Each structure stands twice: as structure tokens, then as C-alpha cells.
Amino acid sequence: MFNEMALAHTILATLGDESYSGYDLWKKFSQSTKCYWQASQQQIYRELGKLEKQGAIASEVIPQEGRPDKKIYRITEQGIAILKDWLVEPSEPMAIREELLVKVIAAKLLPNSVILQEIKRRSQIHSQQVSAYKQILQEKFPDVDKLSYEQKCSYLTLRCGIRYESTWVDWCNEAIELLSEEEK
């Protein structure tokens, strides 16, 4: 029944900490959740609709003046039970599908400068993401020695994001150095 609903689990886990509207969830997904789960606005809204139908979350409409009404979602007991059931099952590593590396494999078809330029562009993107995550880390967790269990968990996901993005920057530098030797 609840096999393969990974986005649903991510939403449930997020609502387990705090209640959010669909729009606020999307904003959170665009900032900190991003380092472990990316989802579009449309995906989030659709999943919220499904989860509410299933009874895993419940909503409350907050009328607002000047702005559209908000629908605030909270997790239900049933939702928590679904999360718990899922937690004890093993998870496989995410499937990697990285276009840049496919381009590296096909790079020989065009002048060297084409792939080099793209790798440099990507290096910048990842550098910026490292900075963004580091800033969130400092704001949310200024004192690493005084974290609650819950905070430690949240902290660790950010640490994973920083490691991931930093590794990309490092690889880009290695690639630029190795491929710059060519004149092609």
C-alpha cells in the first residue's frame, strides 16, 4: 500500500517537526531541505492532496486579508505511524544521473573549451551552494556542542549537503586542471 512514496515520506518527516502550508513547504524545500530532497511546487501540492485523502495529514484553512487563504497542514497519528513503519526498512542509495559527466564522456566531439567552460560554470554553482549551506548552518547551529538530538539530525543533513557540494567543487578543479593541458 505505501510502497514507493518517497516524496510523501519527506513531506511527512518535515511536517513532523512543524506545520506548514504547501507554499511554505515549497520554500523550505528550496532552501534547506534541498540538500537531501528536491521537489517542485507542483509535486508538493499533489502529494499533499494525496496524503490528506489518505488521512496521513490534516489541514486547516487560515483566511488571510489581502492575500490568498492558506491551508496549513499538520501530521496525524496515522501519518506518524506510516513514518515509523518506513523508518525500520532499509533504504538504497539514490540513483545517480549526472548530465555533466555524460557530457564529459562525449566531450571529444567538440573543442576542449566547450566542456571546460561548462565545468567552470558548474564549479561556480556548487561553490555558491557551499556558501549558502554554511550560512544556514551558522545561523541555525551556532554552537555545535549544545545540540539536542533533533538538532543534531538536522545539522547532519546540512553537513552532508556541504560535503556533497564541496566534493563537486574539488572534482571540477581536478577536471579543469587535467583537461586544461590539452590545446584541442
Q: Catalogue the long-range contacts made by 92-95 (C-beta closer than 8 Å, 24 or more residues apart).
A: none
**Site stretch for DNA (CB under 7 A), options 44-52, 117-125, 132-140, 151-159:** 44-52
Candidate ranges 15-23, 105-113, 159-167, 175-183; the one touching DNA (CB under 7 A): 15-23
32 binds DNA (CB under 7 A): no
DSSP character string of 48-80: HHHHHHHTSEEEEEE--SSS--EEEEEE-HHHH
Phi then psi for 76, rounded to 5 degrees?
A: -100, 175
Nearest approach, Cβ of residue 6 and DNA (Å): 6
Report the residue number, 61 or 101, with the smaller CB distance to its own copies.
101
Question: How many CA within 13 A on the CB side of residue 94?
Answer: 8
Interface positions, 138-177, toward its own copies (CB under 8 A): 149-150, 152-157, 159-160, 163-164, 167-168, 170-171, 174-175
Tell me how far, at minimum, the Cβ of 184 lies from DNA, in Å: 30
Region of 103 (left: φ > 0; alpha: ψ -120 to 50; beta: rest) is alpha
Q: Give 54 or 154: the residue with its C-beta nearer to its own copies.
A: 154
State the nearest-atom distance from the C-beta of 66 to its own copies, in Å.
34
Q: Which helix (H) or strand (E) holds 148?
A: none
Which of the listed partners (its own copies, DNA, none) does 160 bind, with a CB threshold of 5 to 8 Å by partner kind?
its own copies
40, 107 Cβ separation under 8 angstroms: no
Residue span 99-138 as binding mask against its own copies, x where in contact by CB under 8 A, dash where not: xxxxxxxxxxxx-x-xx--x--xx--xx------------
